[in-house]
Chain A
């Protein structure tokens, strides 16, 4: 089931278009990556889902119902620009924020104690936020986001500001939360994390969606039939063996071994490639190079979109 369905949403501010005909589906209990360059419209979409602002056109469906104020209690939001009341104590503040989300005070206190134990930060309860370091404050902020056990978690750049150890910790928590039934949307520029934990993604650029789907499927689709081979042997023999079936892209000699990249001229699988060269060289390893999300991001964003193309052509003709 879709937990969230964004249906043809439009949003403009006084001087610019933020979202244009944007639609996407977020499956329940999935981890969804919301990607895009700065200024693409991600934050606007996130604010609409959080009911901080409303769309000009279109609607949001949450768990089969139109998005309404009552859903606030089921959504948790970690904004990109972090912030908490500096002079308020950690425990007090976390409980206050959970209460604002509709959680009962006693329950909030209880669950908060559990989180503190889990993160091993028991002694922070009575500290003021200003007494904590940035990383510590971010941990606290993460807890405040999830304390009320929301069905939908929206995390904007959740890993920024964390050292590698804490980044891992948060990644683990996100996966655990999914196991327990939460759906997570996270917006990030950290493509590695997208590859590691996202199930589906949507790529937004200049107010429009330019790509969406399952991560594995997308990477499959963007495969360009490039293989990386490490072998020991004669380069000329290797090239001859390739013949017309494969094109040699690059090669380098590393400590006596040849590292080469070849592209198949027609869709081929690894077995075919191996069959082609196995007689002529000693194969050490063969890998199909699947594009990284990073590469796909760059490629798609730099692509000129059909609608934009029309605009440019018509401008030239006038």
Chain B
């Protein structure tokens, strides 16, 4: 046991002292902070104004357009030919040409710079609104003000009732963001540190030091020491990231005096808009508060820690086995693909799972040890995971990594002394049965 600790210490210290570790530790939070702060900074800046000249042949739209902080509508009361001729020299970014026809007016837009999809959308919506108002007024004598009074503004509040009859309101958006975030983190961490294990094994094999070491310790001890040591490196990096991100976040908020409330709102809006525009709601701030309060934060953090460690142990053992079977990193390709497919798969279906977090697909994928680290982390923020499900998933994952460790141990033991042979799966299978 002592010897494993010696090995863990060495594996840990050599990696933590490396320059690349320090750089990654500093870079990570900077990137995270950047990702969080830059969109906000952009949002609070003045956006590009669209100055639209309206050429209205129907004359029905005069004073109907409301200017927003992105769109400015001006009627110049001249012909479309004049407007077009003038466009490039004028201050206008585009011309809105409302042609009079017998039926509904035709609308064309001439622009200097292609407007974005959302701008065109906004313009379309605005025109539709205006037209509706005009019609209502003309046919039914309803003014804009009267319309605003009767316009309902509903946002559906999702409240879950659990078995005990407790009610909790959830914000789907936050859950999604957290689920996705958790999935990404687990995926990347497992991959990143799993590959480090593999590289370490290959290094020891190619520089031949492995022969001396296994004259001092059993191959299994060396393998476990390496896996555990690198796990600690991963945890250290993760914890440092959290701490540093927190510090940078607080410092920058303090330095720029950004209104924290506004920031949280815009921030979440940004994320939600990016993920799925349907998710942004009309009352973002209140929903966020409710949403945050309803998220089982402790459950999430503890689960994250567990699934990260257990998932890494499961895959780390497999990476160790691959490393021991080859002579150089170039040869790892044929083995890496099958091992990483479940991991990639779980990442790819994460979106589907988020649409139906308690459905059959989600349930089974959160149980199978190869996919559960990612998928369970996606499910948990949605709050639908029962305790028994969590326990079962955990138990299966533990059994999973014990299994892969056993298999890896057998392969490792033989592989590290074998050189020059191009190893196939058939060969690996035989190694499982070699005597110690």
Q: Which residues of A contact B (CB under 8 A)?
A: 14, 47, 50-54, 56, 72, 75, 77, 79, 81-88, 96-97, 99-101, 144-145
Residues of A close to B436: CB separation below 8 A? 53-54
Say whether, besides A85-B207, A96-B6, A100-B6, A77 and B212 are in contact (CB < 8 Å). Answer: yes
* Contact code string B413-428 (vs A, CB < 8 Å = 1, else 0): 0000100000000000
B214 adjacent to chain A (CB < 8 Å): yes
Q: Which 5 A-B pairs have the closest CB atoms?
A: A83-B208, A100-B216, A50-B215, A83-B207, A83-B209
In the assembled complex, the CB of B215 is this many whole angstroms from the nearest CB of chain A, namely: 4
B120 adjacent to chain A (CB < 8 Å): no
Residues of A close to B213: CB separation below 8 A? 97, 100
Pick the residue among A72, A81, A86, A87 that contacts B215 (CB under 8 A): A72
Cα A54 to Cα B218 with chains together (Å): 12
A84 touches B207 (CB 8 A): yes
Pick the residue among A47, A51, A56, A79 that contacts B208 (CB under 8 A): A79
B215 touches A52 (CB 8 A): yes
B14 touches A52 (CB 8 A): no
B215 touches A51 (CB 8 A): yes
B430 adjacent to chain A (CB < 8 Å): yes
B3 touches A100 (CB 8 A): yes
Which of B14, B217, B417, B436 has the largest number of chain A CB atoms within 10 A?
A: B14
In the assembled complex, the CB of B428 is this many whole angstroms from the nearest CB of chain A, namely: 13
B207 touches A97 (CB 8 A): no
A88 touches B14 (CB 8 A): yes
In the assembled complex, the CB of A103 is this many whole angstroms from the nearest CB of chain B, namely: 10
Nearest residue, chain B, Cβ from A75: B215
Which of A79, A83, A84, A144 has the largest number of chain B CB atoms within 10 A?
A: A83
Nearest residue, chain A, Cβ from B218: A69
B215 touches A77 (CB 8 A): yes
Nearest residue, chain A, Cβ from B10: A96
Cα A72 to Cα B436 with chains together (Å): 17
Residues of A close to B204: CB separation below 8 A? 85
B45 adjacent to chain A (CB < 8 Å): no
B435 adjacent to chain A (CB < 8 Å): yes
The secondary structure that dominates the B interface is helix
Can you list 16 A-B contacts with CB-CB less than 8 angstroms, sorted by A residue number? A52-B215, A53-B436, A54-B435, A56-B435, A77-B211, A77-B212, A79-B208, A79-B212, A84-B207, A85-B203, A85-B207, A85-B209, A87-B14, A97-B213, A100-B6, A101-B216
In the assembled complex, the CB of B202 is this many whole angstroms from the nearest CB of chain A, namely: 13
Nearest residue, chain A, Cβ from B3: A100
B216 touches A79 (CB 8 A): no
Residues of B close to A99: CB separation below 8 A? 6
Cα A97 to Cα B216 with chains together (Å): 8
Residues of B close to A144: CB separation below 8 A? 212
A82 touches B215 (CB 8 A): no
Cα A10 to Cα B207 with chains together (Å): 30
In the assembled complex, the CB of A41 is this many whole angstroms from the nearest CB of chain B, namely: 15
Cα A137 to Cα B208 with chains together (Å): 13
Cα A52 to Cα B418 with chains together (Å): 13
In the assembled complex, the CB of B246 is this many whole angstroms from the nearest CB of chain A, namely: 33
A84 touches B209 (CB 8 A): yes
B212 touches A83 (CB 8 A): yes
Residues of A close to B211: CB separation below 8 A? 52, 77, 79, 81, 83
In the assembled complex, the CB of A105 is this many whole angstroms from the nearest CB of chain B, namely: 9
Cα A37 to Cα B211 with chains together (Å): 21
In the assembled complex, the CB of B196 is this many whole angstroms from the nearest CB of chain A, namely: 14
Cα A87 to Cα B209 with chains together (Å): 12
A81 touches B208 (CB 8 A): yes
In the assembled complex, the CB of B18 is this many whole angstroms from the nearest CB of chain A, namely: 8
Residues of B close to A47: CB separation below 8 A? 417
Cα A300 to Cα B417 with chains together (Å): 31
A86 touches B6 (CB 8 A): no
Cα A50 to Cα B215 with chains together (Å): 5
Residues of B close to A97: CB separation below 8 A? 212-213, 216
Residues of A close to B216: CB separation below 8 A? 72, 97, 100-101
Residues of B close to A75: CB separation below 8 A? 215
Cα A88 to Cα B210 with chains together (Å): 14
Residues of B close to A101: CB separation below 8 A? 216
Pick the residue among B3, B208, B210 that contacts A82 (CB under 8 A): B208
In the assembled complex, the CB of B341 is this many whole angstroms from the nearest CB of chain A, namely: 30
* Contact code string B182-219 (vs A, CB < 8 Å = 1, else 0): 00000000000000000000011001111111111100
Cα A191 to Cα B435 with chains together (Å): 36
A100 touches B217 (CB 8 A): yes
Nearest residue, chain A, Cβ from B419: A81
B417 touches A52 (CB 8 A): yes
Cα A8 to Cα B6 with chains together (Å): 36
Cα A51 to Cα B10 with chains together (Å): 23
Nearest residue, chain A, Cβ from B13: A92
In the assembled complex, the CB of A16 is this many whole angstroms from the nearest CB of chain B, namely: 13
Residues of A close to B214: CB separation below 8 A? 52
Residues of A close to B7: CB separation below 8 A? 100
